[in-house]
């Protein structure tokens, strides 16, 4: 029984780490621009798909393919901000949501044209020999996912709290006009936020692609789970989003293992709803005050 | 005012599309198709469409079928039943096709069956569920083996190996669910006990939780019904957890893609599938061999590795064309009767012998039990 | 009078279509689908456009209605009309139960909660095979008959769905222009202010939520009988998002905007099928561009453009006159 639980926990943390990175992307963009970016999942897809395309068909070494594909995704993220979000400034929240949904369909459509409908896999970074922890097992790639995820979370934390650029982005999210008045280039900060968020998405996609496989459609489900995780943790709190992601992964895995695999997603959402009923701003979100 | 403007412009474009499609002369055979070209079941719909297009083009270039050009009208359902019904109506009412070959998934096929019966148009389904042909419906036929036959084939092989306790894991999509139901229904008949019954979602990325549970049962083999990424992840997870039990997959993974994705973990996996995958291993005396090799080389030259799914479209297309030729007309009722009279048609899925009681016409012998060895399929009998 | 004008135009279009295009696929099939979507969009618009409460789970109530009708008529042999009422009763109780805790939430949290609700209902439909038939769906649903008039052709369904749509539009317009409608709009403006004015916001929000759910349930039952087949993916969260898109695309807080949005989003894929592989990309691009350039929605956006243009003309001619005087 203990070995089983250990395996469920390991599985949950791996899956949760992916959710956490996607959720973190949601939180960063939300923080910077009050936009819930429903195209977040597509960043994951674009990162993974372009890495596969570059390494498999163009024969680039894996590390180079990864770097280029992250750059491509960052470019897509910035373009999204520049050409879809920025022109619609001042539009209502729902309108921007629909714009990002349109963007995600558009990006998926392009991926479909470029790479077709097939499912692809990226090679494991360091082999597939399972590592045993008692009776439970772990793939080297799982460690890559967790380690890479942790590194990026720390990096984001450092960026927002210890660098001028990061603080400037945060300033924009607190008060756009004030930030502008103190001489912060608001539109550049927006680009940085979207680029950063795209980078996180792409990295998540690349890290998990060897385990989960990928196709032009993988972004949808990850986007949904990432959004759920960000809400669970409390929208607008980056570290809350990370916690939300890990928690959601653990809930799903434990529900599948201990209760019912058919209803594991339903159990995840029921818990999410219960959390919201008792904490209407998520686990670590600040209670919002209504503007009168 | 703006409402009127929009509506009138919509109406204009509607008229344009309407008149455009009726320019074709009646001297053509119109074949309609609705397939899951995008969406989770696109690995079915995609090769099916490619096959249909490839052969229609070839026949037309060679002067047509019995002197008539073939026109293929196809729509993408995305695997959604609602869209399937809508597009089936479009095929019947607007495009006025002579018959329909399509319906990649069981859900979309089942959804249009009442419509097909009401409109009295022959429909050849390319989907798996046994519900499509049992009970027999006058206007509906079906090309692939049923999921019940797959389960029976697997159980037969298990019994030969002395396996009686099976852990079942299945996808929560239509294919997985239906396969699960058939597996549970048939278990008793084969003297098999289901000791675990787990499932996973179509987009799930890790099944170790479910498999850990299975590991702690006294199962002697694992049976997985599902398609897409799920079965490949299950296969990899089984090896990762060090579970040393025989793993059976369904005919839902009968494509090279599965071996490519699961890699080394796929070694030793068994699955029931049509002979198409192992065409070159058949004895020359096998009546199917020539047909299989011809289809395989044609498809692979144009689009890459074959799957059995595209093969179903081949079977459907040529059974339909043969029936039209025998009927000497595209009259729907006569064509339907001739499809039902199909005897000894050598297709990719087997030799079809239909009858009023059997709208599939395939026997169990057309199904081969395959094992994956060195990245390829080997027949085990 | 002004709100009646829109209604007359809509009625005229609905009535004229089958005469202008008899036996046309776009009228008898696509327009029926558009009509059902319009009913759903109008109901969702009551909640989103007027009460300002976003819902990404509207398809759940659509699904509850559809499956109630499907299960009760096929498995228990109920009369379809009785099944419709039973479906609405079930929807009513579900909506009422979840309304209170869910509507306490705001903004994105509300969006998430409704999204979660929709997904949970969908999972129940997929997993509850014994009753729902699972992902393969449930067929052989009988069609409706109204006092012996059997609704068994596409044209007849057009008449039924068209009439129900017009009724729902009248209902929505009446609510919006009633006392409670003004309370609703106050809610959208500022909930706190509305509360101060003595409006019981919780009760009002709950009432609208339940009403929107009831209309969706009715639409679901009609869908079920019209298709004679239901399967869970018709009620997935993708469809919920599509409904929200219809409302926003047409123009929030406008009943006719919702109708327009539903019509456009139903017809667009029909017209785009010719693009085959490019369809997905083009659809996404159109959606994005429309929202970027007409963020208020098409109906409001067009009206505004026309008003601006008229104003400019008036100003231009007014300016000339003034110059004349000078």
Q: Work out how many CB contacts closer than 8 A connect B with C.
A: 111
Q: Are residues C218 and C315 in the same domain?
A: no
Name every chain A residue with its beta carbon within 8 A of the beta carbon of B43. 117-119
Q: Please, which residues bridge with residue B168 across strands?
A: B197, B223
Q: Are residues C225 and C316 in the same domain?
A: no
CB spacing of C24 vs B76 below 8 angstroms: no
Q: How far away is chain B from the Cα of A135, in angstroms, using its nearest Cα? A: 9
Name every chain B residue with its beta carbon within 8 A of the beta carbon of C263. 6-7, 10
CB spacing of C190 vs A290 below 8 angstroms: yes
pLDDT at B89: 94
Q: Are residues C246 and C306 in the same domain?
A: no
Q: How far away is chain C from the Cα of B201, in angstroms, using its nearest Cα? A: 10
Q: What is the pLDDT along chain B (381 residues), one digit of tens a residue?
A: 444 444 455 454 544 444 444 444 447 999 999 999 988 888 899 999 999 999 999 999 998 888 889 999 999 998 899 999 999 999 999 999 999 999 999 999 999 999 999 999 999 999 988 889 989 999 999 999 999 999 999 999 999 999 999 999 999 888 899 999 999 999 999 999 999 999 998 888 899 999 999 999 999 999 999 988 899 999 999 999 999 999 999 998 988 889 999 999 999 999 999 999 999 899 999 999 999 999 999 999 999 889 899 999 999 999 999 999 999 889 999 999 999 999 999 999 999 999 999 999 998 888 899 999 999 999 997
In a domain, residue A287? The reply is no
Does domain B147-275+367-379 bear CATH number 3.30.2310.20?
Answer: no
Query: Are A149 and A17 in contact, with CB atoms under 8 Å apart?
Result: yes
pLDDT at A287: 62
Q: Are residues C229 and C315 in the same domain?
A: no
Task: List b or e across B243-253, with b for residues whose CB sees 16 or more CB atoms inside 10 angstroms.
Answer: bebbbbbbbbb
pLDDT at C326: 40
Name every chain B residue with its beta carbon within 8 A of the beta carbon of C231. 81, 107, 111, 174
pLDDT at C2: 60
CB contact B85 to C (< 8 Å): yes
- Across the range A86-112, mean pLDDT stands at 90
Q: B2-146+292-365, what's its fold?
A: Rossmann fold (3.40.50)
Q: How far is it, in rounded angstroms, from Cα B121 to Cα B90?
A: 13
Q: Provide the domain count of chain C.
A: 2
Angle subtended at Cα A283 by Cα A278 and Cα A288, rounded to the nearest 5 degrees? 80
Q: Per residue in B24-70, pLDDT tens?
A: 444 799 999 999 998 888 889 999 999 999 999 999 999 888 888 99
CA atoms within 13 A on the CB side of A7: 29
C interface mutation test: which of A23, A94, A225, A228 has the most C CBs within 10 A? A94
In a domain, residue A215? The reply is yes
Q: Judging by DSSP bridges, how do beta strands B165-171 and B221-225 pair with one another? A: parallel
Q: Which domain holds residue C56?
A: 2-293
Query: What helix, strand, coil percent values describe chain B, rounded to 5?
Result: 50, 20, 30
CB spacing of B6 vs C276 below 8 angstroms: no
Name every chain C residue with its beta carbon within 8 A of the beta carbon of B5. 302
Number of H helices and number of E strands within chain B?
12, 14
Q: How far away is chain B from the Cα of A33, in angstroms, using its nearest Cα? A: 30
In a domain, residue A97? The reply is yes
pLDDT at C318: 62
Point out the residue among A110, A265, A270 whose CB comes nearest to the CB of C281.
Answer: A110
Point out the residue among C48, C245, C288 whose CB comes nearest to the CB of A106.
Answer: C288
Q: Which domain holds residue A114?
A: 31-122+138-265
Query: Are A227 and A23 in contact, with CB atoms under 8 Å apart?
Result: yes
Q: Provide the domain count of chain A.
A: 1
Examine the pLDDT at A67 and tell me if it is beyond 70.
Answer: yes
Q: How far away is chain C from the Cα of A253, in angstroms, using its nearest Cα? A: 17
Q: Per residue in A28-43, pLDDT tens?
A: 999 888 889 999 999 9
CB spacing of A113 vs C248 below 8 angstroms: no
Q: Please, which residues bridge with residue B196 across strands?
A: B167
Residue C318 exposed, middle or buried by CB count within 10 Å (0-12, 13-18, 19+): exposed
In C, minimum Cα distance to A111 occurs at: C281
Q: How far is it, in rounded angstroms, from Cα B377 to Cα B269?
A: 10
CB spacing of C291 vs A95 below 8 angstroms: yes
pLDDT at C93: 96
CB spacing of A94 vs C54 below 8 angstroms: yes
Instruction: Enumerate the domain spans of chain B.
Output: 2-146+292-365, 147-275+367-379
- Across the range A190-208, mean pLDDT stands at 95
In a domain, residue A26? The reply is no
| Cα dihedral B269/B270/B271/B274 (nearest 10) | 120
Positions in chain C short of pLDDT 50: 323-326
Q: Are residues C209 and C303 in the same domain?
A: no
Point out the residue among C24, C228, C273 whose CB comes nearest to the CB of B75.
Answer: C273
Query: What helix, strand, coil percent values describe chain C, rounded to 5?
Result: 80, 0, 15
Quick one: angle between helices B229-240 and A186-212, nearest 10? Answer: 70
The CATH number of whichever domain residue C253 belongs to comes to: 1.10.3470
pLDDT at A92: 82
Coil, strand or helix: which one is B35?
Answer: strand
Query: What helix, strand, coil percent values describe chain A, rounded to 5?
Result: 75, 5, 20
CA distances (Å), A84 to each of A97, C215, C246, C293, in order? 11, 34, 19, 10
Examine the pLDDT at A130 and tell me if it is beyond 70.
Answer: yes
Q: Judging by DSSP bridges, how do beta strands B247-249 and B221-225 pair with one another? A: parallel
């Amino acid at each position: 029984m203990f070995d089983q639980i250990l395996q469920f926990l390991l599985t949950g943390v791996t899956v949760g780490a992916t959710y956490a990175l996607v959720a973190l992307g949601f939180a960063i963009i939300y923080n910077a621009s009050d936009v819930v970016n429903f195209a977040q999942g597509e960043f994951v897809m674009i990162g993974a798909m372009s890495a596969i395309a570059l390494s498999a068909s163009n024969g680039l070494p894996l590390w180079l393919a990864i770097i280029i594909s992250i750059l491509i995704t960052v470019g897509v993220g910035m373009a999204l901000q520049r050409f879809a979000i920025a022109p619609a400034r001042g539009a209502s929240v729902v309108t921007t949501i629909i714009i990002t949904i349109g963007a995600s369909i558009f990006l998926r459509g392009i991926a479909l044209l470029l790479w077709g409908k097939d499912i692809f896999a990226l090679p494991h970074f360091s082999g597939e020999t399972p590592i045993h922890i008692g009776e439970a097992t772990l793939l080297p790639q799982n460690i890559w996912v967790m380690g890479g995820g942790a590194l990026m979370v720390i990096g984001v934390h450092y960026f927002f709290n210890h660098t001028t650029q990061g603080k400037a982005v945060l300033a924009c999210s607190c008060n756009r006009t004030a930030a502008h008045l103190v001489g912060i280039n608001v539109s550049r900060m927006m680009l940085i936020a979207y680029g950063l968020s795209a980078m996180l998405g792409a990295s998540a996609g690349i890290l998990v692609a060897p385990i989960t496989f990928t196709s032009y459609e993988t972004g949808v489900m990850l986007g949904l789970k990432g959004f759920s995780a960000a809400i669970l943790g409390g929208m607008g709190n980056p570290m809350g989003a990370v916690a939300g992601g890990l928690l959601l992964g653990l809930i799903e895995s434990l529900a599948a293992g201990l209760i019912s695999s058919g209803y594991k997603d339903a159990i995840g959402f029921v818990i999410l709803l219960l959390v919201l009923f008792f904490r209407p701003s998520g686990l670590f979100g600040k209670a919002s005050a209504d503007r009168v | 005012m703006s409402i009127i403007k929009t509506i009138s412009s919509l109406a204009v474009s509607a008229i344009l599309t309407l008149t455009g499609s009726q320019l074709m002369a009646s001297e053509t055979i119109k074949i309609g198709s609705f397939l899951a070209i995008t969406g989770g079941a696109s690995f079915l719909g995609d090769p099916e469409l490619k096959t249909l297009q490839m052969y229609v083009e070839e026949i037309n270039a060679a002067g047509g079928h019995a002197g008539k050009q073939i026109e293929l009208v196809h729509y993408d359902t995305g695997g959604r039943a609602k869209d399937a019904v809508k597009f089936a109506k479009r095929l019947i009412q607007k495009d006025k096709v002579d018959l329909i070959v399509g319906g990649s998934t069981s859900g979309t096929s089942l959804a249009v069956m009442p419509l097909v019966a009401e409109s009295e148009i022959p429909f050849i389904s390319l989907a798996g569920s046994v519900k499509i042909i049992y009970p027999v419906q006058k206007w509906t036929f079906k090309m692939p083996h049923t999921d019940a036959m797959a389960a029976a084939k697997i159980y037969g092989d298990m019994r030969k190996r002395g396996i009686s306790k099976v852990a079942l894991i299945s996808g929560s999509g239509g294919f997985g669910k239906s396969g699960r139901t058939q597996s549970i229904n048939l278990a008793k008949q084969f003297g098999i006990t289901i000791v675990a019954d787990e499932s996973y979602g179509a987009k799930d990325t890790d099944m170790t939780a479910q498999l850990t549970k299975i590991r702690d049962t006294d199962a002697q083999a694992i049976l997985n019904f599902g398609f897409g990424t799920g079965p490949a992840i299950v296969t990899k997870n089984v090896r990762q957890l060090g579970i040393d039990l025989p793993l059976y997959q369904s005919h839902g993974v009968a494509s090279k893609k599965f071996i490519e994705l699961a890699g080394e973990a796929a070694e030793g996996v068994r699955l029931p599938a049509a002979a198409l995958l192992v065409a070159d291993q058949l004895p020359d005396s096998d009546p199917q061999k020539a047909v299989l090799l011809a289809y395989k080389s044609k498809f692979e030259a144009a689009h890459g590795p074959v799957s059995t799914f595209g093969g179903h479209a081949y079977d459907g297309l040529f059974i339909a064309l043969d029936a039209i030729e025998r009927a000497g007309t595209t009259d729907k009722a006569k064509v339907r009767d001739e499809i039902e009279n199909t005897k000894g048609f050598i297709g990719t899925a087997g030799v079809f012998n239909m009858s009023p009681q059997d709208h599939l016409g395939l026997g169990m012998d057309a199904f081969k039990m395959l094992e994956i060895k060195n990245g390829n399929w080997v027949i085990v009998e | 009078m002004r709100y009646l004008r829109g209604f007359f135009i809509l009625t005229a279009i609905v009535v004229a279509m089958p005469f202008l295009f008899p036996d046309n696929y776009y009228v008898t099939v696509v327009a029926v689908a558009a009509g059902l979507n319009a009913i759903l969009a109008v109901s969702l618009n009551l909640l989103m456009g007027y009460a300002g409460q976003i819902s990404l789970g509207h398809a759940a109530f659509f699904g509850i209605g559809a499956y109630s009708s499907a299960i009760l008529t096929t498995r228990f042999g109920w009369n379809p009309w009785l099944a419709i009422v039973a479906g609405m009763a079930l929807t009513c109780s579900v909506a009422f139960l979840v309304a209170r805790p869910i509507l306490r939430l705001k903004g994105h949290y509300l969006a998430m909660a409704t999204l979660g609700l929709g997904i949970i209902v969908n999972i129940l439909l997929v997993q509850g095979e014994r009753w729902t038939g699972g992902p393969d769906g449930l067929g052989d649903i009988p069609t409706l008959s109204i006092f012996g008039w059997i609704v068994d052709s596409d044209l007849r369904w057009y008449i039924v769905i068209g009439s129900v749509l017009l009724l729902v539009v009248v209902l929505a317009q009446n609510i919006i222009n009633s006392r409670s409608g003004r309370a609703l709009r106050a809610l959208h403006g500022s909930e706190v202010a509305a509360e101060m004015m003595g409006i019981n916001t919780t009760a009002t929000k709950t009432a609208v939520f339940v009403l929107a759910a009831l209309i969706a349930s009715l639409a679901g039952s009609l869908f079920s009988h019209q298709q004679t087949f239901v399967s869970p993916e018709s009620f997935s969260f993708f469809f919920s998002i599509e409904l929200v898109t219809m409302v926003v695309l047409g123009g929030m807080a406008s009943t006719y905007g919702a109708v327009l949005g539903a019509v456009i989003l139903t017809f667009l894929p029909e017209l785009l099928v010719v693009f085959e592989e490019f369809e997905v990309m083009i659809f996404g691009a159109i959606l994005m561009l429309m929202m970027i350039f007409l963020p208020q929605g098409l109906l409001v956006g067009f009206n505004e453009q026309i008003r601006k243009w008229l104003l400019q003309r008036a100003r231009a001619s007014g300016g000339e006159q003034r110059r004349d005087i000078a």
